[in-house]
Structure 1
Amino acid sequence: MAAAQVVRSEWTKIRSVASTVWTLSLAVVVTVALGILISLLSRHEFDNLSRTERLSFDPTFVSFAGMSLGQLAMIVFGVLVVSNEYSTGMIRTSLAAVPQRGTFLFSKLAVATALAFGVGLATSFVTFFLGQAMLGEHRADIGDPGVLRAVIGGGLYMTLIAVFSMGVAAILRGPLLSLGILMPFFFLISNILGNVGATEKVGRYLPDQAGSSIMRVVTPVDDDTPYGPWGGLGIMALWVLAALLGGFLSLKKRDA
């Protein structure tokens, strides 16, 4: 089967599964709603901030506060895209139709990545503009130095979270096992490592902590992170490449 036909087939699969559509919709709603709420609360609390906290105040990053929960839906989306066929047994039929496993996997990834990027980028822009509206006089403008990079970076961050999850799901196959590892990794282990002094420097190199630096415009006063926004996104991209390589090798060497 030609690559273009495989891509069309994967697009049909993704848009015909209600759960994948709902998870992307949830990513948008949660990210935007929480971003608006946190921005509004930050506006009212600004006068109570200390001088150091005001110097570190990053209105752009504040509007992206909802990413912490929005990425949950992107993780679920990434896992479902890959593991649905394993849980239903359709993977055997798919591989019989497309025996070139590399073509099969990367066609699926290409379609899902393009969809995740479109949704992630739109969500990032909407979240930014609505969040800044809530911040009032403390808002940032899209033309300010570093802001457009941060907003586009928000879309890239959400996309890479989804793609990383696809790679992990290709390695582990089962949706429950994949989510059972990814959820604690991002929402428990990463937070613990990043907030404990002894492991803080290790936590900086985890995909979510490194990647989220792309959404920062103002560097905190006491920040000593050894990489910048693009460096952090690059570290996250390396995690994603490693997950995709593992997924490809797993699909190539193991039976369906």
Structure 2
Amino acid sequence: MASSSAPSSASSSLPAILKSEWTKIRSVASTTWTLVAAFVVTVGIGAALSAFVNSSFQDMEPAEQATFDPTLVSFSGMTLGQLAMIVFGVLVVGTEYSSGMIRTSLAAVPRRGSFLFGKLSVATGLALAVGLITSFLSFFLGQAILGGRSIGIGEPNVLRAVIGAGLYMALIALFSMGVATMLRSSMLALGILMPFFFLISNILGLVSATKKVAQYFPDQAGSKIMQVVPGAMGSDPVPYGPWGGLGIMVLWVAAAVLGGYVVLRKRDA
């Protein structure tokens, strides 16, 4: 009796779950390439826009020159880079449903909370590692391009902004995983998340009637962690600081993950 239940118990142990999820992510080429794309796009666009800003600095508005934030400029590629991180988060979860592998996974790990925790932990850890590598390289490359307008990583709040950029990328991925778990479809999740982060959030943030609401969206609130200069580049002030903004984003992420857990627990595979 005990021997027949041993394999199931062993396969449901946390180390076994983590190892299994790591193997799944490595074996799916699309998830690996989305992380590569997030890195290349963020660093590449950040470097290109740093060069553009450096060459056109004298043509900027006086208010933008007065609030020039070289750290934030080096993260200019984050707007597009985060889209690749969203795709990564969605694929980590959605591939299981589209391939039908979710049934096998839940048969091997009947405790759905443990299964979801293992999957999100491995994927978020990987996203955080890539995010931090991306943020540090984006910063140092951007500052090298900005030359005399650059800032050192030892200056006040700069290291916080660089680390915060890596945290932001990981949280975007985790938020996407939570949404994909709720929707149980890669196409549906991408169809909602991509337009929201690329278009809707930015548009609503520019309209005077809606910008006070949009500043509490996860991307707009979370991105404040990357600013060193308050009101950087002439941006509108917000009623929270960098860590407060990241805290708002964490609440969005927690809600998405909790929603995903409830759906996973209540519905059949």
Task: Give the TM-score taking structure 1 as reference length.
Answer: 0.98
- Report the Cα distance in structure 2 between the residues aligned to 1:72 and 1:185, rounded to whole angstroms: 10
Aligned with 2:205 (options 167, 181, 194) = 194
Contact 2:71 2:161 in 1 (8 A): yes
Q: Considering only aligned residues, what root-mean-square deviation do their CA atoms show, in Å?
A: 0.9
The letter of the residue matching 2:189 is: S
> Could you list the runs of 5+ residues in structure 2 that have no partner in the other structure?
1-11
1:1-256 aligned at under 5 Å gives the runs 1-220=12-231, 223-256=236-269
Partner of 2:7: none
Corresponding letter in the other structure for 2:119: K
Percent identity over the alignment is 66
Larger radius of gyration: 2
Q: Distance in 1 between matches of 2:64 and 2:107?
A: 59
Whole-angstrom CA distance in 2 between matches of 1:14 and 1:255: 23
Aligned residues between the structures: 256
Residue 30 to residue 89, structure 1, CA distance change in 2 (3 Å): same
SS in structure 2 of the partner of residue 142 of structure 1: coil
SS of residue matched to 2:56: helix
Letter paired with 1:163: L
Residue 230 of structure 2 aligns to a residue whose secondary structure is coil
1:185, distance to aligned residue in structure 2 (A): 1.1
Once residues 48 and 117 of structure 1 are traced to their aligned partners in structure 2, the CA distance between those partners, rounded to angstroms, is 37
| 2:9 aligned partner | none
Q: How far 1:189 sits from its partner (Å)?
A: 1.3
Query: Which letter does structure 2 place at the counterpart of 1:114?
Result: G
Query: C-alpha distance in 2, partners of 1:166/1:75?
Result: 8
- Post-superposition shift, 1:193? 1.1
Q: Which runs of 5+ in 1 are unaligned?
A: none
TM-score by length of 2: 0.94
CA distance in 2, matches of 1:53, 1:194: 18
Contact 2:230 2:237 in 1 (8 A): no
Aligned equivalents of 2:119 and 2:265: distance in 1?
15
Q: Which amino acid aligns with 1:250?
A: V
